[in-house]
Amino acid sequence: MEEPLLEIRGLAKRFGKRSGRELAPWIIQDLTFSVSEGEFLTVIGPSGAGKTTLLNIIAQIDVASGGEVRFQSQSAPIDDLKALQPGLACRIGYVTQDDHLLPWRTTLQNVLFPLTVQGRLNAETRTRAEMLIRTVGLGGFENHYPHELSGGMRKRAALIRTLVYNPPVILMDEPFGALDAQTRTQLQEDLLRLWNLGKKTIIFVTHDIAEAIALGDRTLVLSRQPSHVAGKHAITIPRPRDVRGIMTHPEFGALYQRIRAQLQ
């Protein structure tokens, strides 16, 4: 059987000793799951369940205290601070909760930023960036600075900034959390549309069960600290999904109840 694209085995994490305190409690312990190529995986869990920490470890921003992360059949050096490779050589993209747009760059410049840094900026990639900007409805705002954009627009810019350089895996940490319902629904639709175009592998963290069901092929439910996988749910609702009307789908209710029960 082919190995999954990304495999997490027995991941464990606790933070280092702070002065005066004994060993910190385990944030994550015995966390195991895998992600297939092209899969849209949503991850849901209570606050403080270490979801962001999990993404940080996968993205090689943070070290783990134990366990293994295998990417493309290779084990990543997740326990050695110095060996960390943030983004695993641009193979893992990360859309964080804070958009982290560079305030001194215009929208277009921000979207081009990863290409500049990776030395891949040319006429073709530039055109692709401009197309992406238009796709998410930011056309006309290319030369605006982040402080001139609304929250939703900034999120969109941050999203396509990661999409523009086509990393095979994209981690997303509650990217639509701080937005109003209207904008959120719009962005969910945009995201699905973009995912369809490129068939990327996405790990999407959210605290919103409806969002998890609407977007994902599968949903992982994480437990409270110490986090491990409390349940895996295949979302049997066929694609293309109707994001706005997802709650009316006959299978939604049962799925929702099952997931919510596990979150208690």
Partner 1 sequence: MTLREAAIDLDTPAPVRSRQHAVTLGRVALAALLLLAWKLFADVAGPLYVADPIKVVQRIVADTLSGTLLRDTYVTLRLSAIGFALGCGLGIALPFLLRRLPRLTAAVEPYIMASVGIPKYALVPLFILWFGIDDAPKLWLVGLLVFYVVFIAVFAGIRSVDRGLIDMARVAGAGEAAIAREVIWNSLLPFFFAALKIALPRAVSAAIIGEFLVGNEGLGYLIEHSRQNLDTVGVFAGIVVATALVLAINALLVTVDRRVNAWRPTDRHMQI
Partner 2 sequence: MTTLGKRSTIGRSDLWHRIATSLRACGDQILVLVVLVAIWQVLSMTLGSYWVGSPWGVATRFVAGIGDGTLLHQASYTVIEAAAGFVLGALPAVALPFALRRLPIATAILDPFMVGGYGAPKLALAPLFILWFGIGIESKIVLVAVTVFFIVYFSAQAGIRALDAGLVRMAQVMGATERHVARHIVFPGAVPYVFAGLRLAMPYAIGGAIIAELISANRGLGYLIQLGAMNFDTTGIFVALVATICIVFIVNWSVNAVERRLLRWRPVSDVTLQAGT
Binding site for partner 1 (CB under 8 A): 15, 52-53, 56, 61-63, 81, 94, 96-98, 100
Query: In the complex, what is the shortest distance from the CB of residue 154 to partner 1, in angstroms, rounded to a whole number?
Result: 15
Q: Which of 146, 168, 175, 216 binds partner 2 (CB under 8 A)?
A: 146
**Of 21 and 147, CB closest to partner 2:** 147
61-67: long-range contacts, CB 8 A cutoff, minimum separation 24: 61/86, 61/94, 62/13, 64/11, 64/12, 64/13, 64/28, 65/12, 65/13, 65/14, 65/26, 66/10, 66/11, 66/12, 66/13, 67/8, 67/9, 67/10, 67/11, 67/12, 67/30, 67/31
- Binders of partner 2 among residues 67 to 126 (CB under 8 A) are 86-87, 89-90, 92-94, 96, 98, 100, 102-105, 113-114, 116-118
The burial of 178, by beta-carbon neighbours within 10 Å (0-12 exposed, 13-18 middle, 19 or more buried), is given as: middle
**If contact means CB under 5 to 8 A according to the sort of partner, which of partner 2, partner 1, none does residue 247 touch?**
none
**If contact means CB under 5 to 8 A according to the sort of partner, which of partner 2, partner 1, none does residue 93 touch?**
partner 2
Binding site for partner 2 (CB under 8 A): 59, 61, 86-87, 89-90, 92-94, 96, 98, 100, 102-105, 113-114, 116-118, 145-147, 162, 165
